[in-house]
Structure 1
């Protein structure tokens, strides 16, 4: 066993009154798909958390379990609910806590008061949303929210008395209240931008925090003063305007809660009985802070948590925010900023991340790529929680996968070494089949090699490296520089063929003049593009390339035929979409929309905008206009009479998540 680089992270500690075996918490993630019809935990949810406890996490914080709030009227069945049927929730929770405690991990129940103005339209059902005051609805500002009545507030507080009793009896080690954070209902009451009330729940900060104070007091009434209660807390909102967040490093006037008020609020909340704060920054109006994409720095919450810690050194802090780098984690705990480091999405990607880090095997950790497609991207559509790079996340009850026997073992020819081909080979080898992978180029990774070149996409390259190690450890036969043809297929002796040949960039004939290159080539060799680049196509690839080139000091113009950039893409989580969309102008990229690229000359690119032709000065034109699936080998495979499947971009051009999920689905079930 290798030694951990930071053994201090694996020493016991306490967060408030809870003793934890190490300095790692599992951050809360929406538990969609984990509820039964009566609001209890289903077996999928129980296995999900037990798997992370087995993986070494010290403290698990469940995803938010919304209490019954008639004003919000969230339909039953979306979230586990401790007050819908307390007996069912208690019984199923006892199964959950006993499983988790078996691994010497602790678990706190995160319970939420509601959504208010940020309730997603999909469950609003034509009703008028509620809020502390008559303010604009987050998703449609033409709708004005209804002010929540005092009676409705008291009704929600009463629900937390039930939560306290149920949580203690069920064996939870505490409760985390959700939340003075991210702009949820309790946060809306706490922020003057949203709370215009003139009664005891409005006005000065103490009144705006009254709802949160009554919640913790209600929990202690039923569970006892010694029962730990934490709070999910955002000391800064990052709101420039309603629905508009601030960019990293941007100077702006905070309209939500600024850090000074955040510090004042933290002191008050501790005095009310919250013994620890789980810290992030952001809001639904600045969602790419609360749910940081790859365009945000790792450890992005640490500077704000450090300010909070320096002002309130006696309040234990749990700190999240892309903290999967052990160096970051160690630094945050060494100076006392973080009592616990919170890993949420990294535990989706690899449930065993803490055990692997403790063994000094960071190289074996499957990296989170911060794409957010399987997690928050699905949650915002009320789909079950998943993970793009780990198809078994939230499907742990399906393990172990069916194993090959002497009778069923197959030799499987895999054509293509992108993520789909590598995932198929990995899964087949784990099942005991014999995958043989052929890749035409000189290395594995496919288009992800180019996609991972920008500084903010390096986790994509880490994912390729993880696959390479997996295939090596599993003894998978890999042939690089091997172009598959009909003869090789016939000679392969394969029982089955998986076509994972990916896609081909679409081309554009722009005539003679300055160089025209495709986006993949541009990403691999940005130094050859010169100091002014015109990018034809404002989809995901074009926008990411533009941001990456601006980091190098290159002048960039995007030429987009549609009315805006990012209008036509593979699936893209809202937080990622909005941040990238805002980054393009913020980083100084010129955008021409409704523009048609005509031809190049020696000075640049001629385009038509608003019916007139103009020159976009450039040293190179890059085309980023999409991809076409490559499956020309399919007819050869069929002619050879060998069963086959097409997976990944060769089947449908999408993204990393669907390439991996495609391959896993086929490879995990493939039988003779």
Structure 2
């Protein structure tokens, strides 16, 4: 079986490669690298370390028109020292490391602006805010037991001055402009602008004019210090999507907006234009509706901010930029049809640094897709780690990881064609080894094939298509399907190195019924499920299967032993976890947490809740989705083989796509 790429419609995106301006700043094309948090990418004096310099330089080489370098702390008032780069901590070091980076970025004809931030206010992750301040006294977004105090007017004035000083240092360092972080996502400045969070009684609270005073004073202070022609952009969320405190409104849901609604948002956009902002970088959402700002795959539609950018563009005369999973020709053209000026790529540029050049060459099939999993980027940031990328382990390590040609070309056998095996073959093939990949089934992909069947998981499938295409182009890589490995392969003198990537198998618990189905079975053949489905196991596979079947018109019940679906936000990136756990009940799925299955009779499930009360869940289909176990049939041969051998990915311990790819990369780059 050969994997089939999706049909890419409306591929002509030539408008993306026309020049444009932000004020008097000319850009060679209309592509922008969106700002991303720089946790862990600072040096010992608050400048940019070598890894982040090389990351941005690599994207400039990849063709992007402008890079938004950020997130950078305007000062360490509310950020802990050296948690991010910062222009005011050591201006000499910040300037030096900026210049080293910018002169190479500029050599590619790419412009760069610096996003500077005053902090998160009540949206701070517990333990990462020094001052614990906000516009007015309130609870922390994530931990209501923690409280933020109101900023004093002296602290507000100091923040304004710090923005102006920081912007001037950025200008002297060679940046082409700055972006203010942010009246967006519920960060500190955004909290000032919303009556929902701002209960101040002074000139910074009350009326809309007062609530906008801080971001307006900031742009005026920067212009006064840096000059009227120095571009100042604003990261701006048109609509907040706050249903209630700590609750976001879902796509298609009718609710009363507690934050900024579109009517007020358009009024605010005009005010910001008149105040002197040169560009609005538009999206939607807040930390209370975090999945809007960091869209998981469950949105399905790409270009989710186009509708908001279009409304803003109709209201203002300055340039408008949008991001939001824009790695799709239809989304790009939809943006330009709406007169939006610039298209931003964040996560897609982490997945493929050559994205822009490949789009320009109409090589969409060669774009390594972002799968919107957040495991390699946002989840690492939330844990205080430098962001990288699930599908591209080199991201953030461009200065450290260089794929070198080995002194001795080896004959490498890869057993298993799932993501770990595919990455191993790709990296070994790229480095010049002679590679043979054996796959027991008639197709590549392993467990990702059933996992990618839901419509919202198509990017997972496209990742497999990408791998297959890259391997097909390599004359030194041979892929054999319907070719299960045997002991003979381990003893074959034609192989110098063996990498076992045999993946994992679903666990089937014996609950007493022979009629239970594996989640993989139903994902590959949904017609095998009846109209009333009970899924035992509320992990990621169980929940995604439930959402997909519910959308197909089934009535689904999910039973989970623990108190959290998908392992909770500790196991699943917060935006993804929050969205799917809210989508399930919103779309009609019955969710039973803290409920333990006792036994199954036919297709009826008998269980107990945490109070010990018996439950009987009737249905016509029962699906088991309780997890996976390693598939390691060659473990003994690995221990006795007389050659270089490795076991990687799910064959060692079941995990996510990221674990499989990263395991494979680290092994394959050094074979």
Do the aligned partners of residues 152 and 313 (structure 1) sit closer, same or farther apart at CA in structure 2, a change above 3 Å counting?
A: closer
Q: Does structure 2 retain, via aligned residues, the 8 Å contact 1:132–1:147? A: yes
Partner Cα separation in structure 2 for residue 181 and residue 472 of structure 1: 44
Preserved contact between residue 34 and residue 67 of structure 2 (Cα < 8 Å): yes
Contact 1:37 1:76 in 2 (8 A): no
Q: Which of 294, 298, 320 matches 1:295?
A: 298
SS of alignment partner, residue 398 of structure 1: coil
Higher mean C-alpha displacement, 8-17 vs 289-298: 8-17
Q: What is the CA-CA distance between 1:224 and the residue it aligns to?
A: 0.8
Corresponding position of 1:397 = 399
Q: Secondary structure at the match of 2:598?
A: strand
Change (3 A) 1:658 1:148: same
Structure 1 gaps, min length 5: none
2:511: which partner in 1?
510
Counterpart among 287, 306, 309 of residue 305 in structure 1: 309
Give, in whole Å, the separation in 2 of the partners of 1:82 and 1:490. 60
Q: Offset at 1:22?
A: 1.4
Matching of residues 650-669 of structure 1 within 5 Å: 650-669=651-670
Worse-matched range after superposition: 365-374 or 467-476: 467-476
Per the TM alignment, residue 85 of structure 1 is displaced from its structure 2 partner at its CA by: 0.9
Shift of 1:439: 0.7
Aligned to 2:345: 343
State the 1:568 CA deviation.
6.5
The answer to whether the 8 A contact 1:539-1:569 is kept is: no
Q: Distance in 2 between matches of 1:490 and 1:651?
A: 22
- SS in structure 1 opposite 2:588? coil
The alignment's TM-score, normalised by the length of structure 2, stands at 0.96
- Among residues 35, 42, 59, which one is paired with 1:35 in the alignment? 42
Query: Match of 2:179, SS?
Result: strand
2:107 corresponds to 1:99: no
> Which residue number corresponds to residue 322 of structure 2?
319
Structure 2 equivalent of residue 499 of structure 1: 500
SS in 1 for 2:160: helix
3-state SS of the aligned residue for 2:114?
strand
CA distance in 1, matches of 2:417, 2:255: 46
Q: TM-score, normalised by structure 1?
A: 0.95
Q: Which moved more, 1:627-636 or 1:537-546?
A: 627-636
Which of residues 253, 256, 273 in structure 2 aligns to 1:253?
A: 256
Q: Is structure 2 residue 177 aligned with structure 1 residue 170?
A: no
Aligned residues of 1:373 and 1:571 also touching (Cα < 8 A): no
Per-residue CA distance 1:185-216 (angstroms, 9 max, x = gap): 11111111111111111111111111111111
Q: Structure 1: how far apart are the matches of 2:495 and 2:111? A: 49
What's the CA shift for 1:68? 1.1
Aligned to 1:156: 159
Partner-residue secondary structure (3-state), 2:343: strand
Report the CA distance shift for 1:159/1:313 in structure 2 as closer, same or farther (over 3 A): closer
What is the match of residue 611 of structure 1?
A: 612
Deviation at 1:603, TM superposition (A): 5.3
2:113 to 94, 108, 115: 108
Displaced runs of 4 or more, over 6 A:
none
Deviation at 1:606, TM superposition (A): 2.8
SS in 2 for 1:292: coil
What secondary structure is seen at the aligned counterpart in 2 of 1:145?
strand
1:571–1:654 CA contact under 8 A, matched in 2: no
Give 3-state SS (helix, strand or coil) of 1:397's partner. coil
- Map of 2:70 onto structure 1: 63
User: For 1:14, what is the secondary structure of its paired residue?
Assistant: strand
d(CA) in 1 for partners of 2:239, 2:404: 48
Task: Please give the secondary structure, in 2, of the residue aligned with 1:123.
Answer: coil
Q: 1:420 to 1:651 in 2, by over 3 A?
A: same
Q: Is the 8 A contact 1:598 1:608 kept in 2?
A: yes
Partner of residue 212, structure 1: 215
* Aligned match of 1:278: 281
Structure 1 stretch displaced more, 524-533 or 356-365? 524-533
Helix, strand or coil: the match of 1:370? coil
- Name the counterpart of 1:622: 623
- Alignment partners' CA distance in 2, 1:528 and 1:244: 36
Matches for 1:71-470 after TM superposition, within 5 Å: 72=78, 74-124=79-129, 129-296=132-299, 297-310=301-314, 312-336=315-339, 338-405=340-407, 408-470=408-470
Structure 1 Cα separation of the partners of residues 429 and 113 of structure 2: 38
Shift in CA distance, 321/578, structure 1 to aligned 2, threshold 3 Å: same
Q: Secondary structure at the match of 2:287?
A: coil
Cα–Cα, structure 1 residues 33 and 614, in superposed 2: closer, same or farther, change >3 Å?
closer
Q: Counterparts of 1:596 and 1:399 in 2: how far apart (Å)?
A: 47
- Offset, 1:164: 2.4
Q: Which of 5, 9, 17 pairs up with 2:12?
A: 5
CA RMSD of aligned residues (A): 1.6
The more displaced of 392-401 and 466-475 is 392-401
> Which string of whole-angstrom CA distances, capped at 9 and with x for unpartnered residues, describes residues 214-249 of structure 1?
111121122111111110000111111111111111
Deviation at 1:63, TM superposition (A): 1.6
Displacement of 1:104 in angstroms is: 0.8
Q: Deviations over 1:3-55 (max 9, x none)?
A: 97222221112233321111211100112232111111111111111111111
